[in-house]
């Protein structure tokens, strides 16, 4: 049963980011804690996210995003180490409560906010980089935050937003994986689960790339946020 469940989760984790630019980590952080402990889930998702977002960013390949990307990454230089420290010093039971509360808050925000409320200025981008870097290193969930920020820039089209989110997640993901390695969290069990996930992840990425232009990404995002909200509530009441 766990084999089928994990296979489905990894396939879905590859499918969703091809449509929205984010979702690979969100899908797994929503679904995996119900069958795997968080000390396995968090570094495992970080590894998988680096592969998936790197592929999405490479094949999207839009131009003139370097300035926006550097602004976000400059903030993440502060946010990622803060998140690593928090993760290392916090008990797993507390992490589950924080994860549940975070999922409820950010999914409610994503479902209810119709217009961008975060300015696309340099200062706002730096602050968002700190926040996204923190939550990316703790829970691997930073794509939606960057998506909310980048959607406030009317000069960016759907593909550019997807590319910016995926590229940002790839670079911060690399730093996050290095942090997990430094703190000794990349065990043989996690590496085995990572290798198991790859075929299903690649299948999901391939299917998602084929239907990207045919699917209403607004509804996909709503589905991701709705699932995150339900999972957050379930984690809080368990």
Quick one: tokens of 151? 């959607």
Task: Determine the average pLDDT of the residues in 88-113.
Answer: 80
* CA-based nearest residue to 164, from 179, 152, 180: 152
Residues 21 and 13: their CA atoms lie apart, in Å, by 11
The whole-number pLDDT of residue 29 equals 85
Task: Determine the average pLDDT of the residues in 52-77.
Answer: 82
Q: Which of 2-16, 136-150, 188-202 has the highest mean pLDDT?
A: 188-202
The whole-number pLDDT of residue 22 equals 63
Asked if 37 and 110 touch (Cβ cutoff 8 Å), the reply is no
Residues 114 and 149: their CA atoms lie apart, in Å, by 13
Number of domains in the chain: 1
Q: How would residue 232 be classed by pLDDT, with cut points 50, 70 and 90?
A: confident
Quick one: tokens of 60? 């999207």
Residue span of the structural domain in which 163 resides = 2-237
Asked if 49 and 102 touch (Cβ cutoff 8 Å), the reply is no
191 to 37, 117, 185: CA distances (angstroms) = 15, 40, 10
Residues 185 and 181: their CA atoms lie apart, in Å, by 6
186 three-state secondary structure: coil
147 three-state secondary structure: helix
Residue in the block written with tokens 């998988």: 48
**Per-residue pLDDT at 117 exceeds 90:** no
Q: What share of the chain is helix, strand, coil (3-state, %, to 5)?
A: 80, 0, 20
Task: Determine the average pLDDT of the residues in 20-34.
Answer: 79
The whole-number pLDDT of residue 152 equals 63
Provide the sign of the torsion angle of the four alpha carbons 212, 218, 224, 227, taken in this order: negative
Indicate the range of 119-133, 140-154, 199-213 predicted with least confidence: 140-154
Asked if 112 and 230 touch (Cβ cutoff 8 Å), the reply is no
Residue in the block written with tokens 């290798």: 195
Residues 216 and 140: their CA atoms lie apart, in Å, by 25
* CA-based nearest residue to 228, from 12, 31, 7, 18: 31
The whole-number pLDDT of residue 16 equals 79
Residues 140 and 200: their CA atoms lie apart, in Å, by 19
pTM as predicted? 0.79
């Amino acid at each position: 049963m766990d084999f089928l469940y994990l296979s489905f989760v990894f396939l879905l984790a590859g499918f969703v980011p091809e449509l929205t630019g984010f979702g690979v980590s969100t899908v797994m952080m929503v679904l995996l804690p119900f069958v795997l402990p968080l000390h396995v889930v968090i570094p495992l998702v970080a590894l998988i996210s680096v592969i998936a977002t790197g592929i999405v960013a490479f094949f999207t390949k839009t131009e003139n995003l370097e300035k926006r990307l550097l602004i976000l990454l400059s903030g993440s230089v502060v946010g990622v180490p803060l998140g690593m420290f928090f993760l290392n010093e916090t008990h797993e039971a507390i992490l589950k409560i924080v994860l549940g509360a975070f999922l409820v808050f950010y999914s409610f925000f994503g479902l209810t906010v119709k217009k961008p409320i975060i300015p696309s200025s340099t200062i706002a981008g730096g602050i968002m980089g700190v926040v996204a870097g923190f939550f990316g290193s703790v829970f691997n969930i930073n794509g939606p935050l960057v998506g909310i920020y980048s959607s406030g820039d009317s000069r960016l089209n759907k593909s550019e937003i997807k590319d910016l989110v995926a590229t940002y997640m790839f670079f911060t993901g690399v730093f996050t994986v290095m942090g997990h390695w430094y703190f000794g969290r990349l065990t043989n069990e996690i590496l085995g689960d990572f290798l198991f996930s790859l075929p299903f992840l690649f299948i999901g990425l391939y299917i998602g790339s084929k239907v990207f232009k045919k699917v209403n990404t607004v509804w996909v995002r709503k589905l991701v946020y709705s699932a995150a909200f339900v999972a957050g509530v379930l984690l809080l009441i368990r």
